[in-house]
Structure formats: C-alpha cells, structure tokens
Amino acid sequence: MSTRVIDRTTPPHILTLVIAAATAAVSMNVFLPVLPEMATFFAADYAVVQLAVSLYLGATAILQLFIGPASDRFGRRPVMLFCFSVFVVSTLAAIFAPTIEILLALRICQAFSAAGMVLSRAIVRDMVEANEAASRIGYVTMGMTAAPMVGPLIGGILGEIYGWQAPFYLMLGFGLFALTVVYLDLGETNHTQSASLGGQFRNYPELFKSRRFWGYSATAAFTSGAFFAFLGGGPFVATELLGLSPSQYGMYFALITFGYMIGNYCSGRFSARIGINRMMLAGNLAAICGMVISLLLFAAGFMHALALFGPSFLVGLGNGITLPNANAGVVSVRPHLAGSASGLGGALQIGGGAALSVISGALLSVESGPFPLVLVMLGSAACGILATLYVMRIARIAGDV
C-alpha cells in the first residue's frame, strides 16, 4: 500500500504512528519529577499521590481490552480519534483539579491515550508481515522515546519554575498536536472489519488457546515490568534517598530512555535478520545485567544517582530490544485478530506493570533504602528471561501454535 504524508485516504506515515504512540508515553512519565510537590500541594501521602502512576497504568490495561476489539470492529481511525479526544479533555480538567481524588479520577480518563500504543502496533501489522512488523514497531518506539526522554527533564524544570501543573500543560499541548496529526494523516488500514463488537470478544478464546500468545505476552509484561517498577519507586529513591531535585531526576531519567531508544534502533536494524525470539533473549539478558550491577553498587555502599540510573540504562536498552519483538509476536500469532491481540497483550503488559509499580512504591522507605526497588526490577527481568525461553521452546518443539 502506498503512503503519503498528510493524507486521510492512505495508510499513515510512520511519523504519525510515532506521535500517536508517544502520547501515552508522555502522559505516563512527564510529571514524575513533580510527584513530591503534588503530595505537598494536596497535603497527601506520597503513596496516595503515586497512585497517579499506578491507576493510570491499571486503567490503561483495562482500556486496551476494549480499544483493540473496538478497532477490529469499527476501524483504527475512528477509535483513535475518539480516545485522543477523551485524553485532551481530561488533561485540561486535571490542570484545575481541586483535590487529589479528582486528579486521580482524571488520570484514569487520561489512560485513553493508550490507543496510540495499541493501535500503532495493529496498524503496522495490518500493513506488513511479522518480522518486518518487529522492525517497524522498533522504529516507531525508537521515535516515540524522543518525547519521554526529554519529557521528565522539561517537566522537572517547568515544575520547579511554574508549579506541578506545568507538566500537565505540556501534556495538553502534546495531546492537541497528536489529535490534529492523527485526524489529518491516519487513513484506515483495517479493511476486514468484524461484523459485531461482541463477535470480537468471542474471538478471545482463539487467542487463549495459543501458547505462543501467552509466551510473547508474558515476555512483554515481565520485561516492561522492570521499567514500570522504576516508575513507581524511582521518584522516591531519587528525591528522598539520593537528594535529587526534580530537574536532576529528569536529567538522569534521560539515561533510561536513551538506552530504550538505542534498543529500539537495534530492533529496527536487526530483527528481520536475526529473528524476534533471539532478539527478545538478548534484550532480557541486558536488563538482568543492569540490575545485578545496580544491586552490587548499592550493596557496596555507593549511594549515588549513577548507582541507580547508570545500570538502569541497560534496563532501557533491554526493553528497547525486547518489547518491539515481543509485541510483534503478540499481534502475529493470529493476524486476523491483530487489534484484539494487541489490546489483550497490552492489557497483560500494562496490568502487570501497574501491580509492580504499586509494589515497588509500597515497599520503599527511608529505612529500607533502594534495595526493594532494585530487587523487584531484578525479579521482573529474570521472569522475562524465563518467558522468552518458554516461547523459544514452543517454537522448537511445536511450531506456530
């Protein structure tokens, strides 16, 4: 299929998919440096304010169960436009939230931005086959990391100058831009829309029977779980234990997203040649190495930001290598159910991440030090390796089932 820039009648340009996918990433982490300031403003415990992360992730997981099937039924374009409209309205309302409870409710509504991640994967799979899909998804996610890489840094600086609402203004501007680009350039790619939405949900058992689907989904969930655990506990460790300011946190956080971008480039460059399973294994091994190094540094008494953020660069690198390949595997198990598979697989991935973000945030205290966070991240990465080995075993013994 031919693709032209800014044309609603053709498949979208890859930059459009990058912008759409980046919207959810920006909403997820651009405000992290101001979490402690939000706790002060609303006179709430950090554990309560941290729910702005975990509730967002949990809502994202649930919504993906509906976004994917809805796009298989009604098309990718109308579902994407509706979800981004909800995101823009809820972000505007969040800026003026009078209480932490209302803000948390609006964060749940902001999770509609997940359509950018879910449908970008399905759109790519509509257009190309599995190995090439892994490459294209790698390039999409590499591009989308540019925004969240600088987002926490900019959000931290703006928060220090203008207050905690400033990162939400940044989200609003990005959301409006993304909605405009999607409206102008996203042509429909789902040309075999299902007869009914209920029929799409009835197709879920076909995915449930696929061991490869579960293996790829588990790989994606545990691999990203290390990163989501960091989102839940990283701000506490950085500010309360390591004494970093919001802008310093944003600066160090860029190391993780820079590693993710490099990993995405590796996926885009090598997945079609090496294969998605071996790429997943390589990425998980990189993440394991990073967390082992961090654990050893903290155990040796090296209480410095680089003991956390430096090795976490390898976690970002590993995620960048593994996730495009795992997600390509998820949507390729049953190509005619690409939207549903992307939604269900994404729900498992984000749902597991939400749980880990809550766990890591709850276990941390000044007395515990950074060790609960590092151990949760290490355990998640180790489970990612086990899930990858399971997928490779199935492929070797049973083939594509």
The pLDDT tens digits of the residues spanning 239-266 come to: 888 888 877 887 888 888 889 889 988 8
The tokens for 45 are 């415990």
Q: What is the pTM of this model?
A: 0.70
Q: Which of 67, 121, 116, 348 lies closest to 228, judged by CA?
A: 348
Residue 31 is predicted with a pLDDT of 86
Nearest Cα residue to 81 out of 37, 36, 23 = 23
Q: Are 255 and 312 in contact (CB under 8 A)?
A: yes
pLDDT at residue 401, rounded to an integer: 46
For the stretch 54-85, pLDDT in tens is 888 888 888 888 888 888 888 889 999 999 99
Judged against a pLDDT cut of 80, whether residue 281 lies above it is answered with: yes
d(CA 251, CA 155): 10
pLDDT, tens digit, 9 for 90 and up, residues 306-325: 999 999 999 999 998 998 88
Whether 54 and 177 have beta carbons less than 8 Å apart is answered as no
Contact 191, 252 (CB under 8 A): no
Long-range CB contacts for residues 301-304, cutoff 8 Å, separation at least 24: 303/241, 303/242, 304/242
Q: What percent of the chain has pLDDT above 90?
A: 30
> Could you read off the pLDDT of 173-229 as tens digits, one per residue?
999 999 999 999 888 887 776 666 666 667 677 778 888 889 999 999 898 888 888
Instruction: Indicate if the pLDDT at residue 356 is higher than 70.
Output: yes
Q: Residue 266 and residue 246: Cα distance in Å, rounded?
A: 31
Residue 24 has pLDDT above 80, yes or no: yes
Which helix (H) or strand (E) element contains residue 298? helix 276-299
pLDDT tens string 371-400: 999 999 999 999 999 999 999 998 887 655
More confident residue, 302 or 191: 302
Of the given ranges (135-139, 311-315, 325-329, 345-349), which has the lowest mean pLDDT? Answer: 135-139
Q: Which two tokens stand for residue 182?
A: 């999607």
**What is the C-alpha separation between 33 and 245, in angstroms, rounded?**
8
Name the phi and psi angles at 186, rounded to 5. -85, 100
Non-local (6+) Cβ contacts of 296 within 8 A are: none
- Distance CA(326)–CA(331), nearest Å, equals 9
Most confidently predicted of 138-152, 200-214, 225-239 = 225-239
Query: Nearest-CA neighbor of 378 among 304, 299, 262?
Result: 299
- Domains annotated for the chain, with CATH where assigned, are 14-187+203-397 (1.20.1250.20)
Q: Is 174 left (phi over 0), alpha (psi -120 to 50) or beta?
A: alpha
3 state SS of 98:
coil
Amino acid making up residue 38: M
Structure tokens at 209: 């029977």
Q: CB of 363 within 8 A of CB of 372?
A: yes
For residue 334 the two structure tokens come to 């049953």
User: What does R_g of the chain's alpha carbons equal in angstroms?
Assistant: 20
The closest alpha carbon to 120, from 325, 338, 301, belongs to: 338
Q: What is the pLDDT of residue 349?
A: 79
Q: Which residues, including other chains, have CB under 8 Å from residue 101's CB and lie 6 or more apart?
A: none
Mean pLDDT value of segment 135-150:
67
